[in-house]
Amino acid sequence: MKRPKEGWHYCNESVPMCYSTGDWDGKKSDNFVGETIEGKQFIGCCYEGVMDGSKFFDWYQVDELNSNDGTINETVLRWLPIPF
């Protein structure tokens, strides 16, 4: 059974699209709400690309108040786009 297009996207079916370029390695996604398999919810973004011949896709928690980004070291279960 397919899930509806709106709402949560499960990572085993799709991941956020990384398209933005800038002063970082690879491409970056828009911010989203994420949830780990442990139930921790966070505002995050993803980066993907190729570095030294190896592909990467990394999840980051975005801390807008302190301008810090932290790598998510837990398995991300699902993500939800933030509407504009």
Each residue's pLDDT expressed in tens, for the chain with a length of 84 residues: 454 456 899 999 999 999 999 888 899 999 999 999 999 999 999 999 999 999 999 999 987 655 556 888 889 999 999 987
DSSP state of 20: B
Total length of the chain = 84
- pLDDT at 35 (0 to 100): 95
- Tell me the pTM: 0.81
Q: What is the pLDDT of residue 2?
A: 53
Angle (CA) 11-13-33 rounded to 5° is 35
pLDDT of residue 64: 62
**Side-chain half-sphere CA neighbours of 60 within 13 A:** 20
What is the model's pLDDT at position 66? 54
